[in-house]
Amino acid sequence: MSELDFTPDEMMTIAAARALKNTDVCFVGIGAPSAACNIARLTHAPDVTLIYESGTIGTAPTVLPLSIGDGELCETAVTTVSVPEMFRYWLQGGRVTVGFLGAAQIDRFGNINTTVIGDYDAPKTRLPGGGGAPEIASSCGEIFITLKQSKRAMVEKIDFFTSFGHGEGGDHRARLGITTKGPTLMVTDLAVWKADPETSEFTVVSLHPGVSRDMVQDTCGWTVRFADELSETPHPTEIELSTLRDLRARTKAAHSSGAKTGEAA
């Protein structure tokens, strides 16, 4: 792989990272959201404040955490508060501008399922659950979502409402008394989507390099809307790619070392 070649996953992570601003206070989900947020911090947004559910504020991990309880988060945080304080004062107090989430299932209006696949009482698959995501989805100023496209993940109707997006669309959030913006951006491995200001339906505004409309539609479970002025996502820069690859290499080395140490013990 040459220096400026990139994978769909790298394009997704970098495109998602670009959405964060230096002034953002961001509630970070584990996995793809964590990678995107930390790439933003290591490149164009060095002063972004990253918050994890365990109560770590202003964390700056050198490797990606395995979970919200990873010691790396506490060691590098500006401060660590109790979980009740995190949710009541910081999150519900309106002090978080962006929540960055992943999803097992999502629909066109940004409603997220991370609870079960299938019927709740007899599920095909039981997922990790909501954790703090339902509160993040309703209390953060706006929500960014990142996930890999597939018809299994992007569905016409989710099996369970874990985190409320725009419900039935339109002004459903406002009718329920939710004053925050909800999902405004979704970045996948194929495209950048934004919520329509009137219908609240996710609409493709940018295709990643080499991606066609058919590729997006073939991996989505609903009829995709494309913006009238559809653009191409800018290619990753040399700095963005090298930063992401270095972070992942450090993470792999750290976690592999920890596994070996655990086995020896």
Which DSSP category does 234 fall into?
P
Q: Using CB atoms within 10 A of its CB, is residue 1 exposed (0-12), middle (13-18) or buried (19+)?
A: exposed
- Tally the C-alpha atoms within 13 A of residue 136's C-alpha that lie toward its C-beta: 25
185-229 pLDDT tens trace: 999 999 999 999 999 999 999 999 999 999 999 999 999 999 999
* Residue 260 confidence (pLDDT) above 60: no
117-152 pLDDT tens trace: 999 999 999 998 998 999 999 999 999 999 999 999
Q: Is residue 1 part of a domain?
A: no
Domain that holds residue 247: 8-264
- Distance, CA of 25 to CA of 211 (rounded, Å): 32
Backbone angles phi, psi at 70, to 5 degrees: -65, 130
4-14 pLDDT tens trace: 799 999 999 99
Instruction: Provide the number of structural domains found in the chain.
Output: 1
Within 10 angstroms of residue 197's Cβ, the number of other Cβ atoms is 8
* Residue 20 confidence (pLDDT) above 90: yes
Q: Which amino acid is at 102?
A: G
More reliable by pLDDT, 3 or 84: 84
Q: Is residue 206 part of a domain?
A: yes
**Is 238 among the catalytic positions?**
no
Q: Is residue 187 part of a domain?
A: yes
Asked if residues 144 and 187 have their Cβ atoms less than 8 Å apart, the reply is yes
- Distance, CA of 26 to CA of 17 (rounded, Å): 12
25-81 pLDDT tens trace: 999 988 899 999 999 999 999 999 999 999 999 999 999 999 888 888 999 999 999
Query: What's the confidence (pLDDT) of residue 258?
Result: 53
Q: What is the DSSP string of 37-58?
A: HHHHHHTT-TT-EEEETTTEES
Q: Is residue 243 part of a domain?
A: yes
Query: What's the confidence (pLDDT) of residue 68?
Result: 87
Q: Is residue 3 part of a domain?
A: no
Q: Is residue 2 part of a domain?
A: no
Q: What is the CATH number of the domain that holds 58?
A: 3.40.1080.10
Catalytic member of 53, 72, 135, 240: 53
